[in-house]
């Protein structure tokens, strides 16, 4: 590789992605060079996500959603390891991450490779909700007692919301988004995630 390293060149050298670090045959951060005008040494999390996302493009969204998730959520797009759904309940800004791997029920079902990627997706989604909506608190929860497929709720909470300070479940029926609000909100979320306009 020359001084400028493309993601494809780096991927050809990668041996393993584990515990949030990149290891490869004679690959050092200095050889990862500059991408988008910034050194990867300064942004390893984003570089890791970009490499992994490129590696999985051909197989993304191959995991079948549980019928309840498909019914209650609206597909936003995909991150490094997770599909992103918008919960169709306008009471709360509420996103759901579903790791795009078959047969997962609990966090300990994730591989060592996937654990840092899923948690990076959780962090990125939490930061997006905080930036977009300025909530009092971000709730992150993975229950799965009713819907066994591993999924993570990330909910922006406000002292003024109808369930505060209790959890959101069982307080009131969901109120679906009107088409005009949804037509504005989905593009905003996708743009904030740097996702395509269509999932």
Interval 133-165: pLDDT, tens: 999 999 999 999 999 999 999 999 999 999 999
Give me the number of domains the chain comprises.
Answer: 2
Question: Is residue 127 included in any domain, yes or no?
Answer: yes
Q: Within 13 Å of residue 13, how many CA atoms lie on the same side as its CB?
A: 17
Q: Say yes or no: 12 and 79 in one domain.
A: no
Mean pLDDT of the chain: 79
Q: Say yes or no: 124 and 39 in one domain.
A: no
Higher pLDDT, 96 or 31: 96
DSSP-assigned states of every residue in 49-99: HHHHHHHTGGGTT-SPPPHHHHHHEEEEEE-SSEEEEEES-TTS-EEEEEE
Question: Is residue 2 included in any domain, yes or no?
Answer: no
Question: Is residue 198 included in any domain, yes or no?
Answer: no
Q: Say yes or no: 171 and 133 in one domain.
A: yes
What band does 198 get if pLDDT is binned at 50, 70 and 90? confident
Q: Say yes or no: 84 and 135 in one domain.
A: yes
Instruction: Tell whether pTM > 0.85.
Output: no
Q: Is the pLDDT of residue 48 over 70?
A: no
Higher pLDDT, 48 or 170: 170
Q: Say yes or no: 77 and 27 in one domain.
A: no
Question: Is residue 62 included in any domain, yes or no?
Answer: no
Q: Is the pLDDT of residue 14 over 90?
A: no
Q: What is the CATH number of the domain that holds 173?
A: 3.30.428.10
Q: Say yes or no: 120 and 158 in one domain.
A: yes
DSSP E strand boundaries for the chain: 14-18, 21-24, 34-35, 38-39, 73-78, 82-87, 94-99, 137-141, 152-157
Q: What's the CA gap between 33 and 41, in Å, rounded? A: 8
Q: Say yes or no: 38 and 107 in one domain.
A: no
Question: Is residue 60 included in any domain, yes or no?
Answer: no
Q: Which structural domain range is residue 100 located in?
A: 67-193
Q: Is the pLDDT of residue 179 over 70?
A: yes
Q: Say yes or no: 22 and 109 in one domain.
A: no
Question: Is residue 86 included in any domain, yes or no?
Answer: yes
Question: Is residue 162 included in any domain, yes or no?
Answer: yes
Question: Is residue 61 included in any domain, yes or no?
Answer: no
Q: Is the pLDDT of residue 196 over 50?
A: yes
């Amino acid at each position: 590789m020359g001084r400028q390293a493309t993601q494809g060149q780096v991927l050809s050298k990668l041996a393993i992605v584990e515990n949030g670090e990149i290891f490869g045959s004679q690959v050092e951060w200095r050889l990862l060079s500059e991408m988008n005008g910034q050194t990867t040494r300064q942004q390893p999390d984003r570089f890791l996500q970009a490499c992994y996302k490129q590696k999985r493009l051909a197989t993304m969204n191959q995991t079948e959603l549980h019928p309840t998730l498909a019914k209650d959520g609206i597909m936003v797009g995909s991150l490094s390891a997770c599909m992103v759904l918008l919960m169709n309940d306008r009471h709360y800004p509420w996103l759901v991450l579903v790791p795009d791997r078959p047969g997962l029920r609990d966090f300990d079902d994730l591989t060592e490779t996937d654990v840092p990627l899923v948690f990076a997706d959780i962090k990125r989604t939490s930061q997006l909700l905080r930036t977009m909506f300025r909530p009092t608190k971000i709730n992150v929860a993975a229950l799965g007692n009713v819907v066994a497929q591993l999924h993570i709720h990330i909910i922006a909470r406000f002292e003024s919301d109808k369930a505060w300070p209790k959890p959101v479940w069982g307080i009131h029926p969901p109120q679906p988004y009107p088409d005009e609000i949804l037509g504005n909100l989905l593009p905003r979320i996708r743009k904030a995630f740097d996702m395509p306009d269509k999932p």
